[in-house]
């Protein structure tokens, strides 16, 4: 295969931008009109190169909910540089370690964001916009489908994100498959309240722009009615959110009484939304279709999608694999399991990434012979629909904070009367995830549940404490997480 500009994801996207491809900041009202967007992307690309960056150089991009972050991100890819995405809100905490890990040569932040990690190292620090350039004056960087396009952060241990190596081919394959799964037209406009540094947010940006549509960014979702009104003001057709977003909409907004006549679809991913909340959403907002999806950064973004016409019949399912992916469920020895049996979910196909940057151990654990081990536990039914039970990995996210089961188990095991403990997670309407504790007591111990609840720190949400005679264990004596999840 030859190096070609046709494989450059940002070039392809720029070629497909249409007259609806405005980028709008709902908080400020600023609009980059569709006619200007290609030149703005090319301008960022040319700007990065003129400041001394070369193709393949890595540049940290601070991502906020605004058009500039997306222009900078796409401009870097267009020029062949590799953007390393960091959420603006975590820049203070994660900027330095991510910058070092990615061996970035430069950093870009919006004008209002202060971070000088690159400058402190004597490297290039850039702020704000670049002059737009005619696309014809800035040639896109030729590349191969397997060339690294972007380094996407994903949660890792000790608070430092791992960086997933996403190629141009991964982006093209996933973007096109998602477009097919949602039947996205050429006149779409997405309301985006998720940053582009999060794979779900990025996938909404990619798919809508790739189809010639536009994006409205809104950083004001803490006041959800403002976002709902902006959906109307700007004529948005798509709204994307994670479960906590829908929980907030259902409980803390005027969803249903603010009419949204132009909205065609809700996209939901980022963990399971409780079936009763799915039904509540459908009841409150019957007209827009609801697409429930499942995905991972390690597979670029989306893996499966539940079509709206199957929502009723398959309520609680994560849907069917995208049309260019294979999903299988295997046991702990890697043997494929038949439909209905619960095991580890694995994915294979052109949007499965190459692995984590400079982390061969973690890569080996998750990327096995062309299959991505998702770390999720679940089953497939006879029709091939995926049912996800939960994470087999030893972390849950409570109130937005990742907590390791090991940490929880250590705290609980220290309670007098506890012999051993295993923690599992279940979805929780407010906290995101909550703990379920399985506890084996010492002889004669009583009132364990109360004692444990008094010991847990207040930011941990504990759904239940179950005293059990023994914990499920693997052959080498470790807690069998997938069996434990089945008890939840």
Partner 1 sequence: MEDLLAKVQTAFHSAFDVDPQTITLNTSPEDVPAWDSMGHVTLASSLEQLFGLTFDVDDLMEMENVREICRVLSGKLGQVQGALLN
Site residues (CB under 8 A) for partner 1? 89-90, 92, 193, 221-226, 244-245, 248, 252-254, 399-400, 430
Whether the CB-CB separation of 260 and 288 falls below 8 Å is answered with yes
CA-atom Rg of the chain in angstroms: 23
What length is written for the chain? 488
Q: How far apart are CA 264 and CA 290, in angstroms?
A: 9
Look-up of token digits 């929780």: 428
Toward partner 1, which CB reaches closer, 35 or 92?
A: 92
Give least dist CB 28 to partner 1, A: 12
Name 458's Cβ contacts closer than 8 Å, sequence gap at least 6: none
Whether the CB-CB separation of 217 and 239 falls below 8 Å is answered with no
Give least dist CB 401 to partner 1, A: 10
Give least dist CB 252 to partner 1, A: 6
Q: How far apart are CA 181 and CA 145, in angstroms?
A: 22
Toward partner 1, which CB reaches closer, 417 or 429?
A: 429
For the residues of 463-481, what is the DSSP string, one character each? EEEEE-S---B-TTS-B-H
Give least dist CB 399 to partner 1, A: 6
Distances (CA, A) of 205 to 129, 208, 212, 238, 368: 19, 6, 11, 11, 30
Q: How far apart are CA 486 and CA 463, in angstroms?
A: 16
Toward partner 1, which CB reaches closer, 19 or 252?
A: 252
Other Cβ atoms within 10 Å of 128 Cβ, number: 13
Toward partner 1, which CB reaches closer, 113 or 202?
A: 113
Q: Phi and psi dihedrals of 390, rounded to 5?
A: 160, -175
Give least dist CB 202 to partner 1, A: 18
Toward partner 1, which CB reaches closer, 133 or 245?
A: 245
Answer left, alpha or beta for residue 56, where phi above 0 means left and psi between -120 and 50 means alpha. Answer: left
Toward partner 1, which CB reaches closer, 252 or 284?
A: 252
Toward partner 1, which CB reaches closer, 400 or 416?
A: 400
Give least dist CB 260 to partner 1, A: 16
Look-up of token digits 């609980």: 412
Give least dist CB 433 to partner 1, A: 13
Name 129's Cβ contacts closer than 8 Å, sequence gap at least 6: 40, 43, 44, 68, 71
Q: Which residues of 57-91 are buried (b: 16+ CB within 10 A; e: fewer)?
A: bbbbbbbbbbbbbbbbbbbbbbbbbbbbbbbbebb
Residue 67 structure tokens: 């058009």
Give least dist CB 223 to partner 1, A: 5
Other Cβ atoms within 10 Å of 332 Cβ, number: 14
Toward partner 1, which CB reaches closer, 328 or 453?
A: 453
Toward partner 1, which CB reaches closer, 94 or 179?
A: 94
Which contiguous run of DSSP H or E holds residue 434? strand 432-441
Reduced to 3 states, what is the DSSP secondary structure of residue 334? Answer: coil
Reduced to 3 states, what is the DSSP secondary structure of residue 227? Answer: helix
Give least dist CB 277 to partner 1, A: 15
Q: How far apart are CA 485 and CA 316, in angstroms?
A: 16
Reduced to 3 states, what is the DSSP secondary structure of residue 96? Answer: helix
Toward partner 1, which CB reaches closer, 222 or 414?
A: 222
Toward partner 1, which CB reaches closer, 18 or 256?
A: 256
Toward partner 1, which CB reaches closer, 141 or 242?
A: 242
What's the number of CA atoms in the CB half-sphere (13 Å) around residue 182? 33
């Amino acid at each position: 295969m030859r190096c070609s500009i046709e494989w450059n994801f940002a070039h392809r996207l720029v070629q497909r931008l249409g007259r609806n491809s405005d980028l709008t900041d709902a908080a400020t009202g600023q609009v980059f009109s569709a006619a200007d967007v290609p030149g703005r992307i090319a301008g960022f690309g040319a700007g990065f190169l003129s400041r001394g960056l070369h193709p393949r150089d890595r540049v940290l991009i601070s991502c906020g909910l605004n058009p500039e972050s997306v222009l900078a991100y796409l401009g870097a890819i267009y020029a062949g540089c590799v953007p390393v995405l960091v959420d603006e809100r975590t820049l203070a905490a994660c900027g330095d370690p991510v910058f070092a890990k990615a061996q970035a040569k430069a950093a870009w932040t919006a004008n209002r964001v202060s971070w000088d990690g690159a400058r402190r190292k004597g490297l290039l620090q850039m702020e704000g916009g670049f002059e737009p350039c005619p696309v014809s004056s800035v040639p896109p960087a030729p590349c191969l489908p397997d060339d690294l396009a972007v380094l996407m952060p994903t949660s890792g241990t000790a608070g430092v994100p791992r960086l997933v190596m996403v190629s141009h081919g991964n982006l093209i394959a996933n973007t096109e498959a998602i477009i097919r799964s949602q039947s996205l037209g050429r006149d779409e406009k997405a309301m985006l309240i998720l940053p582009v540094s999060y794979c779900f947010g990025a996938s909404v940006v990619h798919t809508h722009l790739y189809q010639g549509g536009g994006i409205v960014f809104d950083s004001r979702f803490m006041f959800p009615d403002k976002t709902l009104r902006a959906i109307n003001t700007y004529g948005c057709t798509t709204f994307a959110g994670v479960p906590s977003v829908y929980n907030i909409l259902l409980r803390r907004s005027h969803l249903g009484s603010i009419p949204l006549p132009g909205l065609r679809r809700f996209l939901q991913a980022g963990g399971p939304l409780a079936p009763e909340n799915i039904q509540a959403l459908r009841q409150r907002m019957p007209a827009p279709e609801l697409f429930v999806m499942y995905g991972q950064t390690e597979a670029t973004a989306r893996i499966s999608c539940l079509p709206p016409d199957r929502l009723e019949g398959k309520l609680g399912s994560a849907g069917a694999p995208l049309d260019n992916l294979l999903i299988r469920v295997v046991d702990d020895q890697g043997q494929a399991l038949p439909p209905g049996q619960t095991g580890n979910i694995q994915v294979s196909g052109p949007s499965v990434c190459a692995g984590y940057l400079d982390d061969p151990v973690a890569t080996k654990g998750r990327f096995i012979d062309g299959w991505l081990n998702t770390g999720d536990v679940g089953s497939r039914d006879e029709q091939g629909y995926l049912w996800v039970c939960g994470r087999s990995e030893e972390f849950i996210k409570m109130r937005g904070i990742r907590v390791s089961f090991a940490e929880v188990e250590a705290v609980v095991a220290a309670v007098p009367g506890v012999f051993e403990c295993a923690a599992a997670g279940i979805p929780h309407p407010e906290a995101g995830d909550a703990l379920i504790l399985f506890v084996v007591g010492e002889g004669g111990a009583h009132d364990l549940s109360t004692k444990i609840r008094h010991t847990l720190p207040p930011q941990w949400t504990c759904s239940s404490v179950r005293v059990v005679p023994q914990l499920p264990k693997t052959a080498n004596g470790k807690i069998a997480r997938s069996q434990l999840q089945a008890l939840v």
